[in-house]
Amino acid sequence: MTQEATIIKVTNIPEGTVPDALLFFFENRRKSGGGSVEDIKYDPDTKSAVITFEEREAVKRVIGKSPLLFNGVQIGVEEFRPDVRVKDFSGEAGKASENVLEVRGVSSMTSEDTVMMYFENTRRSGGGDIKSMKAEDGVFYIIFEDDQAIEKVLNKQHKIHGKTIEVCRYIPPPLKLAHMYSNKVFVTNISKKTAQDDLDNFLAVRTNIIPVSIEYGELEGTALITFEEDIDFEKLQLACKKKTLHKSHLEIFRVPITNCAIVRNISERTSRDTLEFYFDNEYRSGVSGVLDVKMLDGFCLVYFEEPEGDYNSNNILWYKFELSIIQE
């Protein structure tokens, strides 16, 4: 769910201001309209601060009380919604990306807002308007609105708060292989003549392990097979190439571990938030850690934090509706 902002940005702060003075001012409801402050990031160089309140209502009160006078100076206040996430970066693994800047060596005392304002200052950094920025383990990844800005940044030396920082083009890491189930396979090219018992027996003989479930796919001739123990994938794949089942060579594929489940048979009255609360409740659904829920036509996709979660249960009874849960 999208959370309402609890953050404001303050500008035109008088010189010589100390963070405690800002803290006391914005926690004084009579003077500023604010309330309990969770965090303050103050940058005296730009005379600005980013203040996080403990409750959303404090932001509404501060905005409603504007314009504000602080130590005799009119300060600017606005609701602040930081956008520091970049879903992915362009460029192939191992090759420098043309339009993504990588920044290292920034002091841990320097706020993300300060870094953003520095690289948006064309005179100081050579940069310009930032399209997106991501901070991860002390490293910043920046994409500018103007692709030409990165060249100007790379041709300059950079310091923030007196500390030299390093800039270079971002090089994406090598692609990582997805983790695979050791007891599941996806089978295609199943003959129309093959009954479930025939498929079960055929696979059991070639793996010496009993399949515990066979779930047929929507695409004809496909099935997801789960065994009671780990299998030798290469051995099974080779066996199916040598031996046919009803004159058809089964094609065997590994199954990647996913963090997404398809949920069907949802009541039309069920909202997205209700589904999120249900699947994020371990007592009710047996799982928790929901990242996102996407409502689609007749079904929804539920994304979890951990791909190993046990959310592959079938026929969960909930509000008298039988939800069909399938890992995607």
Which residues are registered as beta bridge partners of 328? none
Written as one string, the DSSP assignment of 120-156 is: T-HHHHS---EEEEEEETTEEEEEESSTTHHHHHHTS
Query: Does residue 204 surpass a pLDDT of 90?
Result: yes
Report residue 82's pLDDT band, with 50, 70 and 90 as the boundaries.
low
What average pLDDT does range 291-300 have in this prediction?
82
Q: What is the mean pLDDT of the chain?
A: 81
Report residue 320's pLDDT band, with 50, 70 and 90 as the boundaries.
very low
Domain boundaries, the chain: 7-79, 101-169, 180-256, 260-327
How is domain 260-327 classified at the CATH fold level? Answer: Alpha-Beta Plaits (3.30.70)
Residue that wins the pLDDT comparison between 37 and 317: 37
Span 95-154, pLDDT tens digits: 445 688 999 999 888 889 899 999 999 988 999 999 899 888 888 999 999 888 999 999
How is domain 101-169 classified at the CATH fold level? Answer: Alpha-Beta Plaits (3.30.70)
Using the 8-state DSSP alphabet, how is residue 2 labeled? P
pLDDT of residue 84: 39
Torsion sign (Cα): 127, 128, 131, 135: positive
Q: Which of 212-216, 219-223, 241-245, 324-328 has the least mean pLDDT?
A: 324-328
- Stated as kind and residue range, the H or E segment containing 190 is none
How is domain 180-256 classified at the CATH fold level? Answer: Alpha-Beta Plaits (3.30.70)
Report residue 10's pLDDT band, with 50, 70 and 90 as the boundaries.
confident
Distances (CA, A) of 296 to 200, 263, 300: 33, 10, 5
Peptide bond into 67 cis (omega under 30): yes
Residue that wins the pLDDT comparison between 257 and 41: 41
Crossing angle of helices 196-207 and 233-242, rounded to 10°: 120
pLDDT of residue 7: 86
pLDDT of residue 209: 93
Query: Does residue 270 surpass a pLDDT of 60?
Result: yes
pLDDT of residue 97: 52
Which residues are registered as beta bridge partners of 102? 141, 168
Structure tokens at 175: 């692609």
Query: Does residue 324 surpass a pLDDT of 60?
Result: no
Query: Does residue 90 surpass a pLDDT of 50?
Result: no
pLDDT of residue 314: 38
CATH number of the domain located at residue range(s) 7-79 in this protein: 3.30.70.330
Cβ-based neighbours of 317, under 8 Å, separated by 6 or more: 323
Q: In whole angstroms, what separates CA 99 from the centre of its chain?
A: 22
What average pLDDT does range 76-89 have in this prediction?
59
Asked if domains 7-79 and 260-327 share a fold, the reply is: yes
Which residues are registered as beta bridge partners of 168? 102
Using DSSP's 3-state secondary structure scheme, residue 226 falls into strand
Do residues 253 and 294 touch, judged by C-beta distance below 8 A?
Answer: no
Do residues 6 and 54 touch, judged by C-beta distance below 8 A?
Answer: yes
Which residues are registered as beta bridge partners of 186? 224, 253
What average pLDDT does range 18-33 have in this prediction?
86
- Does this model's pTM top 0.75? no
pLDDT of residue 231: 92
Query: How far is 221 from 276, CA to CA, in rounded Å?
Result: 34
Query: Does residue 88 surpass a pLDDT of 80?
Result: no
Do residues 38 and 6 touch, judged by C-beta distance below 8 A?
Answer: yes
